[in-house]
Amino acid sequence: VNKVDALNTAFNLKNVAIVGVAPGEAGFNTGRLFLSAIVEYGFPGRIYPVHPDGGEVLGLKVYPSISDIPEAVDYVISCIRAPLIPRLIRECSEARAKVLCLFTAGFSETGISSNQELESQIGELARETGVRVIGPNCMGIFSPRARFSYAADFPKETGRAGLICQSGGNTLYIIRAAGARGITFGKAISYGNGSDIDETDLLGYFHQDSEIDMVAMYIEGVRDGSRFRRALKELAVEKPLVVVKGGRTPKGVSAVASHTASLAGSDELWEQVLKHAGAIQVDTLDELVDMLVALSLMSPPGEKRVVSLGMGGGAGVLAADEWDRAGFAQPPLPEEIAEEFRTALGNPAGTSMNNPIDVPHFGLGNPNFYEALKSLMSWDGFDFLAFHLPLRGMMLTMSVGDMVISMETDTLMNLRQETTKPMVGVIHYLANAESWQYAAKYAERLQKAGIPVFYSVASTANAINRLIGYHNYPGYTADGSSG
């Protein structure tokens, strides 16, 4: 099979085999972690644990080998040792198994030449037999549409983002962190050393995939630069592509060598290539998630004029500094609007009613304040509203939480209905589990209403700057055609 058909099969898998599942009910190894996650997540297809000892595990029959399974398997996960892989590929070929995912590591990333040769051999065997290989040294595919996951806690919803990730751990984090921010993936793949299906194949795959609207990528290196650049550009011209490049410093580059054995390339070259292609380069995984949030939930503001509204004078001062430092203008409100805010709240002492607008406790629940907010939103002197909530910088503890959450979010959600002007929420001053729990509830409501939420003013400004930059990129046209 060709790689596109193989990926189609894998992302729509109807059955799965896991080779190297520890036998016995008390057994524990990575194969068992895969197996129990697949079961717990709710995969509706047939599941075939494989181990020479046979027996039963989690109530499932264990098959001694791939060839003992009574049907052709769509997707095989290998957790056995590297030297056994060539034989496994041949067995898969004979049993007409279609795609092999190698969690198995111990190849070129070890720096040992015999292991490097083994990896080349695997690539060749894949091409020869048509059993397409994902990995080695990876987690493989996540497909919520097929209800298939190797982590039981991954989101159940199918989103329209795609993920191409060279690191298994980073894949786990990106999917979980994005899920907590209301961003779900339709298809995600952790591809490790990429001995057969590589980064370029995956860019091409998501380029032609009408179920995927935007792509996130973590990459450590490429095998074929010119093919990669072409695929990068083809994708980025049509769909937003956000990229974290791992291994940008000399020490990062050497860590890459022992992680996925990729040639990391120079940081300058990568920046140029990504910029030229119209991809959005970010520095950290959290910035990657921020960028997906911005792309999914907000239209780019026309100019960089923000009105900031929130609780706490000191938090407002630091927020004003952050917006200013990031190049955003903070225009003073027209006097009649400032006056409307002041009057709404009975001229409260100790709160600024200009920009930033300092809302006292429970201010957002006031109907006159809401009218003032509506007047503000129709003022054409600014481009977006930033609401900031310094959670652990308020006198109230979390005990009054749920009431405040619905009152405040209702106000913002109603406002969202009445205007097309972009709005963002900044929930900050967190620092403990209780406040993250509160923040999650708050964020969930806002996200569902189409208001993106970020966790610091600096990261919000950063994401919006990149969003504006992306939409102003000369190669970008609103209809998605190549500019």
Least gap, CB of 266 to a copy of itself (angstroms): 13
| Residue from 78, 108, 143, 167 binding a copy of itself (CB under 8 A) | 167
| Residue from 17, 235, 298, 311 binding a copy of itself (CB under 8 A) | 311
Footprint of a copy of itself on 411-430 (CB under 8 A): 429
Question: Which span sits near a copy of itself by CB under 8 A: 65-73, 164-172, 410-418, 461-469?
Answer: 164-172
Reading the block at residue 442, the tokens are: 């708050």
Secondary structure, 3-state, the chain: CCHHHHHHHHHCCCEEEEECCCCCCCCCCHHHHHHHHHHHHCCCCEEEEECCCCCEECCEECECCHHHCCCCCCEEEECCCHHHHHHHHHHHHHCCCCEEEECCCCCHHHCCHHHHHHHHHHHHHHHHHCCEEECCCCCEEEEHHHCECCCCCCCCCCCCEEEEECCHHHHHHHHHHHHCCCCCEEEEEECCCCCCCCHHHHHHHHHHCCCCCEEEEEECCCCCHHHHHHHHHHHHHHCCEEEEECCCCHHHHHHHHCCCCCCCCCHHHHHHHHHHHCCEEECCHHHHHHHHHHHHHCCCCCCCEEEEEECCHHHHHHHHHHHHHCCCECCCCCHHHHHHHHHHCCCCCCCCECCCEECCCCHHHCHHHHHHHHHHHHCCCCCEEEEEEEHHHCCCCHHHHHHHHHHHHHHHHHHHHCCCCCEEEEEECCCCHHHHHHHHHHHHHHHHCCCCEECCHHHHHHHHHHHHHHHCCCCCCCCCCCC
| Residue from 240, 356, 363, 452 binding a copy of itself (CB under 8 A) | 356
Contact between 315 and 337 under an 8 Å Cβ cutoff? The reply is no
Question: Which span sits near a copy of itself by CB under 8 A: 9-17, 62-70, 317-325, 381-389?
Answer: 317-325
R_g of the chain computed on alpha carbons: 26
Q: How many residues bind a copy of itself (CB under 8 A)?
A: 88
Footprint of a copy of itself on 252-271 (CB under 8 A): 252, 254-256, 258-260
| Residue from 19, 164, 172, 464 binding a copy of itself (CB under 8 A) | 172
Positive or negative, the Cα torsion across 438, 440, 446, 448?
negative
Residue number, 313 or 334, with CB nearest to a copy of itself:
313
Length of the chain: 483
120 binds a copy of itself (CB under 8 A): no
| Residue from 53, 299, 431, 480 binding a copy of itself (CB under 8 A) | 431
| Residue from 147, 160, 176, 305 binding a copy of itself (CB under 8 A) | 176
Residue number, 144 or 278, with CB nearest to a copy of itself:
144
| Residue from 145, 156, 325, 374 binding a copy of itself (CB under 8 A) | 325
Question: Which span sits near a copy of itself by CB under 8 A: 10-18, 121-129, 229-237, 434-442?
Answer: 434-442
Question: Which span sits near a copy of itself by CB under 8 A: 51-59, 92-100, 147-155, 380-388?
Answer: 147-155
| Residue from 27, 393, 401, 450 binding a copy of itself (CB under 8 A) | 393
Residue number, 332 or 483, with CB nearest to a copy of itself:
332
Least gap, CB of 180 to a copy of itself (angstroms): 4
Least gap, CB of 125 to a copy of itself (angstroms): 19
Residue number, 37 or 377, with CB nearest to a copy of itself:
37
168 binds a copy of itself (CB under 8 A): yes
| Residue from 289, 376, 415, 424 binding a copy of itself (CB under 8 A) | 289
Tell me how crowded residue 233 is: count the other CB atoms within 10 A of its CB.
19
Footprint of a copy of itself on 230-249 (CB under 8 A): 244, 246-249
Footprint of a copy of itself on 44-103 (CB under 8 A): 81-82
Least gap, CB of 284 to a copy of itself (angstroms): 7
Residue number, 33 or 274, with CB nearest to a copy of itself:
33
Question: Which span sits near a copy of itself by CB under 8 A: 87-95, 350-358, 408-416, 446-454?
Answer: 350-358
Site string for a copy of itself, 2-41 (x = CB under 8 A): ----------------------------x--x---x----
